[in-house]
Amino acid sequence: MQTRPPKPPPVPSLRSTGDLRERFAELEQVVGARSLAVAISDFETGTEFEFNGDRWFHAASTIKLAVLVGVYGAIHRGELLLQSRVHIRNRFLSAYDGSPYRVRGDRDANAEVHREIGRTLRVAELADSMITSSSNLATNLLLDLVGLDVLQRTLDSFGLEGIDLRRGVEDELAYQHGINNRVTAEGLVGLLRLIEEERAFSPALSRQMLDILHRQQFRSGIPAGLPREARVANKTGDISTVAHDAGLVYLPGRKPYAIAVLTEWEPTATGRSTTIAAASYLAYAALIADRADVE
Amino acid sequence: MSSSYQNAVFPLRLVDGRRLERRYRDVLLPGGTLCDHAGRARVLPRYFYEVTSWEQARATNLSRHFTVSEFIHTDVREAPALRVFPRYIPCATVLLAFALEQLREAVGTYVFIGANGGYCSPRHKGTGAASPHCWGTAANIYRIGDTYLDTPDTIRRFAALAHEVIPTVWTRPLGDQRALTDDHLHIDLGYVVSVPREAPGESYNLKLAGEPL
Protein backbone atom coordinates (compact mmCIF):
# COMPACT_ATOMS: atom_id res chain seq x y z
CA MET A 1 0.00 0.00 0.00
CA GLN A 2 1.39 3.37 -0.95
CA THR A 3 1.98 6.06 1.66
CA ARG A 4 0.52 9.37 0.64
CA PRO A 5 1.22 12.82 2.08
CA PRO A 6 -1.37 13.73 4.69
CA LYS A 7 -2.55 17.14 3.45
CA PRO A 8 -2.05 18.07 -0.19
CA PRO A 9 -0.83 21.67 -0.18
CA PRO A 10 -2.12 24.30 -2.58
CA VAL A 11 -0.77 24.08 -6.09
CA PRO A 12 2.02 26.58 -6.76
CA SER A 13 3.00 27.34 -10.33
CA LEU A 14 6.53 26.64 -11.44
CA ARG A 15 6.55 30.04 -13.11
CA SER A 16 6.95 31.40 -9.64
CA THR A 17 9.79 29.17 -8.58
CA GLY A 18 10.18 31.27 -5.49
CA ASP A 19 6.86 29.87 -4.21
CA LEU A 20 7.94 26.31 -4.80
CA ARG A 21 11.29 27.00 -3.22
CA GLU A 22 9.44 28.30 -0.15
CA ARG A 23 7.33 25.18 -0.10
CA PHE A 24 10.38 22.93 -0.07
CA ALA A 25 12.07 25.07 2.58
CA GLU A 26 8.92 24.80 4.68
CA LEU A 27 8.77 21.05 4.18
CA GLU A 28 12.42 20.70 5.18
CA GLN A 29 11.74 22.59 8.38
CA VAL A 30 8.44 20.92 9.29
CA VAL A 31 9.69 17.35 8.93
CA GLY A 32 12.93 18.08 10.78
CA ALA A 33 15.26 16.88 8.07
CA ARG A 34 18.87 17.96 8.31
CA SER A 35 18.69 18.79 4.67
CA LEU A 36 16.43 18.49 1.66
CA ALA A 37 17.41 18.89 -1.97
CA VAL A 38 15.25 18.68 -5.05
CA ALA A 39 16.01 18.95 -8.76
CA ILE A 40 13.41 18.79 -11.51
CA SER A 41 13.74 18.74 -15.27
CA ASP A 42 10.48 18.83 -17.19
CA PHE A 43 10.50 17.56 -20.77
CA GLU A 44 7.04 19.01 -21.39
CA THR A 45 7.75 22.65 -20.57
CA GLY A 46 11.55 22.68 -20.57
CA THR A 47 11.46 23.91 -16.99
CA GLU A 48 14.49 23.31 -14.83
CA PHE A 49 14.20 23.74 -11.08
CA GLU A 50 16.52 23.12 -8.19
CA PHE A 51 16.38 23.51 -4.45
CA ASN A 52 19.81 22.85 -2.94
CA GLY A 53 20.36 21.06 -6.23
CA ASP A 54 24.14 21.18 -6.07
CA ARG A 55 24.44 20.07 -2.44
CA TRP A 56 26.39 16.81 -2.08
CA PHE A 57 24.79 13.90 -0.22
CA HIS A 58 25.96 10.41 0.64
CA ALA A 59 24.58 8.57 -2.39
CA ALA A 60 23.34 5.41 -0.62
CA SER A 61 21.76 3.15 -3.25
CA THR A 62 21.06 5.91 -5.75
CA ILE A 63 24.66 5.37 -6.89
CA LYS A 64 23.35 2.18 -8.50
CA LEU A 65 21.79 4.35 -11.18
CA ALA A 66 25.29 5.54 -12.07
CA VAL A 67 26.62 1.97 -12.00
CA LEU A 68 23.79 0.94 -14.34
CA VAL A 69 24.79 3.62 -16.85
CA GLY A 70 28.45 2.58 -16.53
CA VAL A 71 27.64 -1.08 -17.13
CA TYR A 72 25.65 -0.20 -20.23
CA GLY A 73 28.65 1.82 -21.37
CA ALA A 74 30.71 -1.38 -21.24
CA ILE A 75 27.97 -3.15 -23.20
CA HIS A 76 27.99 -0.34 -25.76
CA ARG A 77 31.76 -0.69 -26.18
CA GLY A 78 31.38 -4.43 -26.72
CA GLU A 79 33.24 -5.34 -23.53
CA LEU A 80 30.18 -7.06 -22.11
CA LEU A 81 26.98 -8.60 -23.34
CA LEU A 82 23.73 -8.62 -21.42
CA GLN A 83 23.91 -12.41 -21.50
CA SER A 84 27.54 -12.51 -20.32
CA ARG A 85 27.86 -14.71 -17.28
CA VAL A 86 29.40 -13.41 -14.07
CA HIS A 87 30.77 -15.52 -11.23
CA ILE A 88 28.82 -14.78 -8.04
CA ARG A 89 31.43 -14.33 -5.38
CA ASN A 90 31.01 -12.36 -2.19
CA ARG A 91 34.50 -10.97 -1.81
CA PHE A 92 35.51 -7.42 -2.64
CA LEU A 93 38.48 -5.20 -1.96
CA SER A 94 38.14 -2.01 0.06
CA ALA A 95 38.75 1.28 -1.72
CA TYR A 96 40.65 2.37 1.37
CA ASP A 97 43.45 -0.19 1.56
CA GLY A 98 42.57 -3.11 -0.67
CA SER A 99 41.62 -5.36 2.22
CA PRO A 100 38.81 -7.83 1.49
CA TYR A 101 35.25 -7.37 2.69
CA ARG A 102 31.91 -9.03 2.12
CA VAL A 103 28.37 -7.87 1.60
CA ARG A 104 26.22 -9.02 4.50
CA GLY A 105 23.41 -11.23 3.32
CA ASP A 106 21.13 -10.20 6.18
CA ARG A 107 21.44 -6.51 5.23
CA ASP A 108 20.96 -6.96 1.52
CA ALA A 109 17.50 -6.23 0.18
CA ASN A 110 17.85 -9.07 -2.28
CA ALA A 111 18.71 -12.56 -1.00
CA GLU A 112 18.38 -14.20 -4.41
CA VAL A 113 21.80 -13.13 -5.63
CA HIS A 114 23.37 -14.45 -2.42
CA ARG A 115 21.78 -17.83 -3.08
CA GLU A 116 23.75 -18.05 -6.33
CA ILE A 117 27.17 -17.78 -4.69
CA GLY A 118 29.60 -20.11 -6.45
CA ARG A 119 27.52 -20.14 -9.61
CA THR A 120 26.99 -17.52 -12.31
CA LEU A 121 24.30 -15.02 -13.25
CA ARG A 122 23.97 -12.99 -16.40
CA VAL A 123 24.84 -9.31 -16.54
CA ALA A 124 21.18 -8.60 -17.34
CA GLU A 125 20.04 -10.44 -14.21
CA LEU A 126 22.55 -8.61 -12.03
CA ALA A 127 21.59 -5.23 -13.48
CA ASP A 128 17.95 -6.00 -12.82
CA SER A 129 18.62 -7.09 -9.23
CA MET A 130 20.82 -4.07 -8.61
CA ILE A 131 18.02 -1.67 -9.55
CA THR A 132 14.68 -3.33 -8.90
CA SER A 133 15.49 -4.88 -5.53
CA SER A 134 18.65 -2.85 -4.83
CA SER A 135 20.95 -5.84 -4.45
CA ASN A 136 24.24 -4.72 -2.94
CA LEU A 137 25.97 -7.93 -3.99
CA ALA A 138 24.88 -7.51 -7.61
CA THR A 139 26.09 -3.91 -7.52
CA ASN A 140 29.55 -4.78 -6.26
CA LEU A 141 29.89 -7.63 -8.74
CA LEU A 142 29.08 -5.32 -11.65
CA LEU A 143 31.30 -2.59 -10.27
CA ASP A 144 34.15 -5.06 -9.91
CA LEU A 145 33.59 -6.41 -13.38
CA VAL A 146 33.62 -3.08 -15.18
CA GLY A 147 36.01 -1.30 -12.83
CA LEU A 148 35.53 1.82 -10.75
CA ASP A 149 37.76 3.99 -12.93
CA VAL A 150 36.07 2.87 -16.12
CA LEU A 151 32.64 3.55 -14.65
CA GLN A 152 33.59 7.03 -13.49
CA ARG A 153 35.22 7.81 -16.85
CA THR A 154 32.02 6.76 -18.60
CA LEU A 155 30.03 9.17 -16.45
CA ASP A 156 32.60 11.91 -16.99
CA SER A 157 32.35 11.41 -20.76
CA PHE A 158 28.83 12.82 -20.59
CA GLY A 159 30.08 15.93 -18.85
CA LEU A 160 27.92 15.09 -15.85
CA GLU A 161 28.60 16.81 -12.57
CA GLY A 162 27.16 15.72 -9.29
CA ILE A 163 28.03 12.02 -9.42
CA ASP A 164 31.09 10.92 -7.47
CA LEU A 165 31.65 7.14 -7.64
CA ARG A 166 34.44 6.15 -5.28
CA ARG A 167 33.82 2.67 -3.91
CA GLY A 168 31.65 -0.42 -3.71
CA VAL A 169 28.61 -0.75 -1.50
CA GLU A 170 29.10 -1.75 2.18
CA ASP A 171 32.79 -0.92 2.11
CA GLU A 172 32.77 -0.08 5.83
CA LEU A 173 36.48 0.62 6.04
CA ALA A 174 36.27 3.17 3.24
CA TYR A 175 33.20 4.69 4.93
CA GLN A 176 35.10 5.05 8.20
CA HIS A 177 37.83 6.90 6.34
CA GLY A 178 35.46 9.25 4.57
CA ILE A 179 35.60 7.60 1.16
CA ASN A 180 31.99 7.67 0.01
CA ASN A 181 29.90 7.70 -3.11
CA ARG A 182 28.23 11.08 -3.38
CA VAL A 183 25.51 12.58 -5.50
CA THR A 184 23.67 15.84 -5.93
CA ALA A 185 20.01 16.13 -6.92
CA GLU A 186 21.10 17.80 -10.16
CA GLY A 187 23.59 15.01 -10.85
CA LEU A 188 20.91 12.34 -10.56
CA VAL A 189 18.50 14.30 -12.72
CA GLY A 190 21.30 14.63 -15.27
CA LEU A 191 21.62 10.82 -15.36
CA LEU A 192 17.89 10.40 -15.77
CA ARG A 193 17.89 12.96 -18.59
CA LEU A 194 20.54 10.92 -20.41
CA ILE A 195 18.29 7.90 -20.28
CA GLU A 196 15.03 9.63 -21.15
CA GLU A 197 16.58 11.55 -24.03
CA GLU A 198 18.09 8.27 -25.26
CA ARG A 199 21.56 9.78 -25.18
CA ALA A 200 22.92 7.02 -22.95
CA PHE A 201 24.94 5.32 -25.70
CA SER A 202 22.03 4.47 -28.01
CA PRO A 203 18.24 4.66 -28.05
CA ALA A 204 18.02 0.88 -27.65
CA LEU A 205 20.32 0.76 -24.63
CA SER A 206 18.60 3.77 -23.06
CA ARG A 207 15.25 2.05 -23.40
CA GLN A 208 16.64 -1.11 -21.82
CA MET A 209 17.81 0.87 -18.81
CA LEU A 210 14.46 2.58 -18.61
CA ASP A 211 12.68 -0.78 -18.66
CA ILE A 212 14.74 -1.89 -15.67
CA LEU A 213 13.94 1.30 -13.77
CA HIS A 214 10.26 0.79 -14.49
CA ARG A 215 10.41 -2.57 -12.71
CA GLN A 216 11.44 -0.87 -9.47
CA GLN A 217 9.97 -2.60 -6.42
CA PHE A 218 10.47 0.26 -3.93
CA ARG A 219 7.61 2.68 -4.45
CA SER A 220 7.17 4.51 -1.16
CA GLY A 221 9.03 7.67 -2.23
CA ILE A 222 8.34 9.62 -5.41
CA PRO A 223 5.56 7.30 -6.70
CA ALA A 224 3.64 7.58 -3.42
CA GLY A 225 3.15 11.32 -3.95
CA LEU A 226 1.57 10.90 -7.34
CA PRO A 227 -1.85 9.95 -8.70
CA ARG A 228 -2.41 6.31 -9.51
CA GLU A 229 -2.18 6.82 -13.25
CA ALA A 230 1.41 8.00 -12.94
CA ARG A 231 4.13 5.57 -14.02
CA VAL A 232 7.51 6.04 -12.42
CA ALA A 233 10.93 4.66 -13.34
CA ASN A 234 12.93 5.28 -10.19
CA LYS A 235 15.81 4.34 -7.92
CA THR A 236 15.75 4.82 -4.19
CA GLY A 237 18.57 5.04 -1.67
CA ASP A 238 18.27 4.62 2.08
CA ILE A 239 20.78 4.33 4.91
CA SER A 240 20.61 5.48 8.53
CA THR A 241 21.21 9.15 7.76
CA VAL A 242 19.89 9.65 4.24
CA ALA A 243 16.82 8.73 2.21
CA HIS A 244 16.60 9.54 -1.48
CA ASP A 245 14.57 8.82 -4.56
CA ALA A 246 15.22 9.79 -8.17
CA GLY A 247 12.99 8.94 -11.07
CA LEU A 248 11.26 9.73 -14.32
CA VAL A 249 7.55 10.46 -13.92
CA TYR A 250 5.16 9.65 -16.75
CA LEU A 251 1.71 11.19 -16.61
CA PRO A 252 -1.01 10.76 -19.21
CA GLY A 253 -1.10 13.41 -21.92
CA ARG A 254 2.26 15.02 -21.25
CA LYS A 255 5.95 14.38 -21.59
CA PRO A 256 7.70 13.04 -18.51
CA TYR A 257 9.72 14.91 -15.95
CA ALA A 258 12.82 13.85 -14.08
CA ILE A 259 12.96 14.49 -10.36
CA ALA A 260 15.44 13.74 -7.60
CA VAL A 261 14.60 14.22 -3.93
CA LEU A 262 17.53 13.85 -1.55
CA THR A 263 17.16 14.06 2.23
CA GLU A 264 19.50 13.83 5.18
CA TRP A 265 18.36 12.93 8.70
CA GLU A 266 19.29 12.20 12.25
CA PRO A 267 19.67 8.41 12.50
CA THR A 268 16.59 8.16 14.74
CA ALA A 269 14.34 10.30 12.56
CA THR A 270 11.14 8.93 11.06
CA GLY A 271 8.89 9.96 8.20
CA ARG A 272 11.52 9.83 5.47
CA SER A 273 9.47 8.17 2.77
CA THR A 274 6.50 10.40 3.56
CA THR A 275 8.70 13.45 3.16
CA ILE A 276 9.96 12.28 -0.23
CA ALA A 277 6.38 11.57 -1.26
CA ALA A 278 5.36 15.05 -0.10
CA ALA A 279 8.18 16.65 -2.09
CA SER A 280 7.14 14.55 -5.07
CA TYR A 281 3.58 15.81 -4.71
CA LEU A 282 4.72 19.43 -4.50
CA ALA A 283 6.68 19.02 -7.72
CA TYR A 284 3.80 17.24 -9.44
CA ALA A 285 1.29 19.81 -8.36
CA ALA A 286 3.52 22.67 -9.49
CA LEU A 287 4.16 21.12 -12.88
CA ILE A 288 0.52 20.35 -13.49
CA ALA A 289 -0.44 23.86 -12.46
CA ASP A 290 2.18 25.17 -14.84
CA ARG A 291 0.67 23.19 -17.69
CA ALA A 292 -2.82 24.38 -16.77
CA ASP A 293 -1.59 27.98 -16.93
CA VAL A 294 -0.22 27.40 -20.42
CA GLU A 295 -3.48 25.92 -21.62
CA MET B 1 29.93 -47.60 -9.87
CA SER B 2 26.87 -47.74 -12.08
CA SER B 3 26.84 -50.22 -14.90
CA SER B 4 25.99 -47.56 -17.46
CA TYR B 5 29.13 -45.66 -16.53
CA GLN B 6 31.22 -48.85 -16.55
CA ASN B 7 30.13 -49.75 -20.02
CA ALA B 8 30.13 -46.32 -21.50
CA VAL B 9 32.70 -45.40 -24.12
CA PHE B 10 34.34 -42.10 -23.22
CA PRO B 11 32.62 -39.77 -25.67
CA LEU B 12 35.01 -36.82 -25.83
CA ARG B 13 37.34 -36.56 -28.79
CA LEU B 14 41.03 -36.33 -27.98
CA VAL B 15 42.68 -33.44 -29.82
CA ASP B 16 46.22 -32.20 -30.25
CA GLY B 17 46.00 -28.56 -29.21
CA ARG B 18 48.74 -27.65 -31.65
CA ARG B 19 46.55 -28.73 -34.52
CA LEU B 20 43.54 -26.67 -33.49
CA GLU B 21 42.50 -23.49 -35.26
CA ARG B 22 44.59 -20.48 -34.43
CA ARG B 23 41.88 -18.81 -32.33
CA TYR B 24 42.03 -21.80 -29.96
CA ARG B 25 45.80 -22.14 -30.02
CA ASP B 26 46.10 -18.47 -29.06
CA VAL B 27 44.16 -18.99 -25.87
CA LEU B 28 45.02 -22.59 -24.92
CA LEU B 29 48.76 -22.13 -25.63
CA PRO B 30 49.15 -25.90 -26.09
CA GLY B 31 52.58 -27.12 -25.08
CA GLY B 32 53.62 -23.56 -24.29
CA THR B 33 55.13 -22.37 -21.05
CA LEU B 34 54.00 -20.14 -18.24
CA CYS B 35 56.21 -18.61 -15.59
CA ASP B 36 55.30 -19.38 -11.99
CA HIS B 37 55.71 -17.06 -9.00
CA ALA B 38 59.26 -18.32 -8.46
CA GLY B 39 60.28 -17.63 -12.06
CA ARG B 40 60.21 -21.29 -13.10
CA ALA B 41 58.93 -22.26 -16.54
CA ARG B 42 55.99 -24.66 -16.44
CA VAL B 43 55.00 -26.54 -19.58
CA LEU B 44 51.31 -26.34 -20.41
CA PRO B 45 49.24 -29.30 -21.58
CA ARG B 46 49.19 -30.06 -25.27
CA TYR B 47 46.38 -32.62 -25.45
CA PHE B 48 42.78 -31.81 -24.73
CA TYR B 49 39.35 -33.36 -24.82
CA GLU B 50 36.88 -31.55 -27.01
CA VAL B 51 33.46 -30.74 -25.55
CA THR B 52 30.92 -29.94 -28.24
CA SER B 53 27.92 -28.76 -26.21
CA TRP B 54 26.72 -27.98 -22.71
CA GLU B 55 24.44 -31.00 -22.96
CA GLN B 56 27.44 -33.20 -23.67
CA ALA B 57 29.32 -31.57 -20.77
CA ARG B 58 26.42 -32.32 -18.44
CA ALA B 59 26.06 -35.88 -19.67
CA THR B 60 29.73 -36.85 -19.61
CA ASN B 61 31.26 -38.07 -16.37
CA LEU B 62 34.96 -37.73 -15.67
CA SER B 63 34.54 -39.79 -12.53
CA ARG B 64 31.58 -41.35 -10.82
CA HIS B 65 30.13 -38.10 -9.45
CA PHE B 66 31.83 -35.35 -11.44
CA THR B 67 30.71 -34.31 -14.88
CA VAL B 68 32.69 -32.28 -17.42
CA SER B 69 30.33 -29.33 -16.93
CA GLU B 70 31.63 -28.80 -13.40
CA PHE B 71 35.13 -28.15 -14.72
CA ILE B 72 34.27 -25.76 -17.55
CA HIS B 73 31.85 -23.43 -15.77
CA THR B 74 33.59 -20.11 -16.41
CA ASP B 75 32.32 -16.56 -16.73
CA VAL B 76 32.92 -13.49 -18.86
CA ARG B 77 36.55 -13.40 -17.72
CA GLU B 78 37.36 -16.44 -19.86
CA ALA B 79 38.76 -15.79 -23.34
CA PRO B 80 35.91 -15.16 -25.82
CA ALA B 81 36.86 -18.16 -28.00
CA LEU B 82 36.29 -20.46 -25.02
CA ARG B 83 32.96 -19.01 -23.94
CA VAL B 84 31.25 -20.88 -26.73
CA PHE B 85 31.38 -24.49 -27.80
CA PRO B 86 33.43 -26.40 -28.70
CA ARG B 87 35.33 -26.06 -25.43
CA TYR B 88 38.51 -27.87 -24.48
CA ILE B 89 39.77 -29.39 -21.24
CA PRO B 90 43.28 -30.71 -20.62
CA CYS B 91 43.40 -34.48 -20.40
CA ALA B 92 44.70 -34.27 -16.82
CA THR B 93 41.30 -32.96 -15.72
CA VAL B 94 40.29 -36.61 -15.53
CA LEU B 95 42.93 -37.13 -12.86
CA LEU B 96 41.61 -34.17 -10.90
CA ALA B 97 38.13 -35.65 -11.06
CA PHE B 98 39.49 -38.92 -9.69
CA ALA B 99 41.16 -37.07 -6.84
CA LEU B 100 37.97 -35.15 -6.07
CA GLU B 101 36.12 -38.44 -6.05
CA GLN B 102 38.26 -39.48 -3.08
CA LEU B 103 37.23 -36.33 -1.25
CA ARG B 104 33.60 -36.82 -2.25
CA GLU B 105 33.70 -40.31 -0.81
CA ALA B 106 35.31 -39.13 2.42
CA VAL B 107 32.76 -36.36 3.05
CA GLY B 108 29.84 -38.48 1.91
CA THR B 109 28.06 -35.60 0.22
CA TYR B 110 28.18 -33.25 -2.73
CA VAL B 111 31.37 -31.33 -3.47
CA PHE B 112 30.69 -28.12 -5.39
CA ILE B 113 33.29 -26.54 -7.67
CA GLY B 114 32.77 -22.81 -8.10
CA ALA B 115 32.48 -20.94 -11.36
CA ASN B 116 35.97 -20.16 -12.69
CA GLY B 117 37.08 -22.85 -10.26
CA GLY B 118 37.85 -25.66 -12.68
CA TYR B 119 39.78 -25.38 -15.93
CA CYS B 120 40.64 -21.83 -16.95
CA SER B 121 42.70 -21.05 -20.03
CA PRO B 122 45.97 -19.12 -19.73
CA ARG B 123 44.05 -16.16 -21.20
CA HIS B 124 41.40 -16.22 -18.48
CA LYS B 125 41.53 -12.83 -16.74
CA GLY B 126 41.36 -14.42 -13.32
CA THR B 127 44.35 -16.72 -13.59
CA GLY B 128 47.65 -15.62 -12.11
CA ALA B 129 51.16 -16.78 -12.90
CA ALA B 130 51.15 -20.43 -13.95
CA SER B 131 47.91 -21.17 -12.13
CA PRO B 132 47.31 -24.95 -12.09
CA HIS B 133 43.77 -24.11 -13.21
CA CYS B 134 45.41 -23.73 -16.65
CA TRP B 135 46.47 -27.39 -16.40
CA GLY B 136 42.97 -28.53 -15.43
CA THR B 137 44.41 -29.89 -12.22
CA ALA B 138 43.00 -27.41 -9.71
CA ALA B 139 39.56 -26.97 -8.19
CA ASN B 140 38.06 -24.19 -6.10
CA ILE B 141 35.51 -25.82 -3.83
CA TYR B 142 33.06 -23.31 -2.39
CA ARG B 143 30.56 -25.67 -0.83
CA ILE B 144 30.47 -29.21 0.55
CA GLY B 145 27.00 -30.53 1.21
CA ASP B 146 25.18 -27.62 2.85
CA THR B 147 28.36 -26.06 4.22
CA TYR B 148 29.78 -23.02 2.49
CA LEU B 149 33.56 -22.87 2.77
CA ASP B 150 33.75 -19.21 3.70
CA THR B 151 35.16 -19.35 7.21
CA PRO B 152 38.67 -20.32 8.35
CA ASP B 153 37.28 -23.23 10.38
CA THR B 154 35.44 -24.89 7.52
CA ILE B 155 38.24 -24.34 5.02
CA ARG B 156 40.81 -25.72 7.48
CA ARG B 157 38.65 -28.74 8.31
CA PHE B 158 38.08 -29.79 4.72
CA ALA B 159 41.66 -29.00 3.69
CA ALA B 160 42.87 -31.41 6.37
CA LEU B 161 40.49 -34.03 5.04
CA ALA B 162 41.70 -33.43 1.48
CA HIS B 163 45.30 -33.99 2.56
CA GLU B 164 44.24 -37.17 4.29
CA VAL B 165 42.58 -38.73 1.26
CA ILE B 166 44.77 -37.25 -1.53
CA PRO B 167 48.30 -37.53 -0.11
CA THR B 168 50.17 -35.23 -2.53
CA VAL B 169 47.48 -32.60 -2.92
CA TRP B 170 48.32 -28.92 -2.47
CA THR B 171 45.84 -26.65 -0.74
CA ARG B 172 46.06 -22.89 -0.80
CA PRO B 173 46.90 -21.47 2.62
CA LEU B 174 44.28 -19.55 4.59
CA GLY B 175 44.33 -15.80 4.69
CA ASP B 176 42.86 -12.66 3.19
CA GLN B 177 45.94 -11.51 1.29
CA ARG B 178 46.82 -12.16 -2.34
CA ALA B 179 47.58 -15.83 -3.11
CA LEU B 180 45.72 -16.91 0.03
CA THR B 181 42.12 -18.03 0.36
CA ASP B 182 39.26 -17.09 2.62
CA ASP B 183 36.13 -18.01 0.69
CA HIS B 184 36.85 -21.40 -0.85
CA LEU B 185 39.11 -24.43 -0.63
CA HIS B 186 41.62 -24.48 -3.46
CA ILE B 187 43.12 -27.89 -4.07
CA ASP B 188 45.44 -28.85 -6.87
CA LEU B 189 47.61 -31.67 -8.09
CA GLY B 190 50.34 -29.42 -9.45
CA TYR B 191 51.56 -29.15 -13.03
CA VAL B 192 50.39 -32.55 -14.17
CA VAL B 193 50.25 -33.13 -17.90
CA SER B 194 48.42 -36.17 -19.16
CA VAL B 195 49.20 -37.73 -22.53
CA PRO B 196 46.75 -40.51 -23.35
CA ARG B 197 48.14 -43.49 -25.25
CA GLU B 198 46.24 -42.60 -28.40
CA ALA B 199 47.65 -39.06 -28.48
CA PRO B 200 49.32 -38.53 -31.88
CA GLY B 201 52.55 -36.80 -30.81
CA GLU B 202 55.57 -36.30 -33.05
CA SER B 203 57.92 -38.86 -34.63
CA TYR B 204 60.89 -39.70 -32.44
CA ASN B 205 63.91 -37.60 -33.39
CA LEU B 206 67.17 -38.41 -31.69
CA LYS B 207 68.52 -34.87 -32.25
CA LEU B 208 65.57 -33.41 -30.43
CA ALA B 209 65.60 -36.01 -27.67
CA GLY B 210 68.35 -34.33 -25.67
CA GLU B 211 71.36 -35.93 -24.01
CA PRO B 212 71.13 -39.70 -23.36
CA LEU B 213 70.82 -40.65 -19.74
DSSP class per residue in A213-238: HHT----SSGGGGS-TT-EEEEEEEE
What average pLDDT does the segment A86-96 reach? Answer: 96
Chain B residues with CB inside 8 Å of A85's CB? 74-76, 115
Which candidate from A100, A117, A119 shows the least CB-CB separation from B182? A100
pLDDT at A260 over 90: yes
How far does A160 lie from chain B, in Å, by closest CA? 29
Across chain A, mean pLDDT equals 92
Number of structural domains, chain A? 1
**Confidence band of A295 (pLDDT split at 50, 70, 90):** very low
pLDDT at A294: 41
Q: Give me the domain span that covers residue A110.
A: 17-294
Query: pLDDT-based confidence at B4, cuts 50/70/90?
Result: very low
Q: Give the phi and the psi of residue A192 in degrees, each rounded to 5.
A: -65, -35
The answer to the question of residue A194 being in a domain is yes
Q: What is the pLDDT of residues A171-209, one digit of tens each?
A: 999 999 999 999 999 999 999 999 999 999 999 999 999
B201: pLDDT strictly greater than 50: yes
**Does residue B183 belong to the interface with chain A, where contact is any CB pair within 8 Å?**
yes
3-state secondary structure of B61: strand
Q: How far is B151 from chain A (nearest CA, A)?
A: 12
Say if A32 falls within a structural domain.
Answer: yes
Q: CA separation (Å) from A272 to A6, A8, A170, A230, A258?
A: 13, 17, 21, 21, 20
Residue A65 and residue A210 in contact, taking contact as beta carbons nearer than 8 Å: no
Closest Cα in chain B to A120: B115
Return contacts of A99-108, CB within 8 angstroms, 24+ apart: A99/A173, A99/B176, A100/B176, A100/B182, A101/A170, A101/A171, A101/A172, A101/A173, A102/B183, A103/A136, A103/A137, A103/A140, A103/A169, A103/A170, A104/A170, A105/A137, A107/A136, A107/A170, A108/A135, A108/A136, A108/A137
Mutate to test the interface with B, among A87, A88, A123 (most CBs of B within 10 A): A87
ipTM of predicted complex: 0.89
DSSP string, B83-94: SSSSEEEETTHH
The number of C-beta contacts closer than 8 angstroms across A and B is 44
Q: Residue A10 domain-assigned? A: no
Residue A218 in any domain: the answer is yes
Cα A175 off chain centre by: 20
Task: Give the nearest partner residue to A117 out of B73, B74, B142, using CB atoms.
Answer: B142
Q: What is the pLDDT of residue B9?
A: 81
Residue B39 Ramachandran class (φ > 0 left, ψ -120 to 50 alpha, else beta): left
> In this structure, is residue A4 part of a structural domain?
no
CB contact under 8 A, B114 and A100: no
Instruction: Say what percent of chain B tops pLDDT 70.
Output: 92
User: Residue A227 falls within a domain, yes or no?
Assistant: yes
In a domain, A9, yes or no: no
CATH number at A92 reads 3.40.710.10
Cα-flanking dihedrals φ and ψ of residue B141, to 5°? -100, 120
Helices assigned H by DSSP within B29-151: 54-59, 93-107
* pLDDT, mean of residues A24-33: 95
Q: Residues of B with CB below 8 A from A89's CB?
A: 114, 183
- A145 part of contact set with chain B, CB < 8 Å: yes
Q: What is the predicted pLDDT for the residue at A288? A: 85
Query: DSSP letter at B134?
Result: G
What pLDDT score does B127 carry? 87
Residue B177's pLDDT is: 81
User: Is the residue at A262 inside a domain?
Assistant: yes
B 106-165 residues inside an 8 A Cβ radius of A: 112, 114-117, 142-143, 148, 150
Q: What angle do CA A24, A25, A27 make, to 5 degrees?
A: 60
pLDDT score for A58: 97
User: What's the distance, CA B166 to chain centroid?
Assistant: 15
Q: Is A1 exposed, middle or buried (0-12, 13-18, 19+ CB in 10 A)?
A: exposed
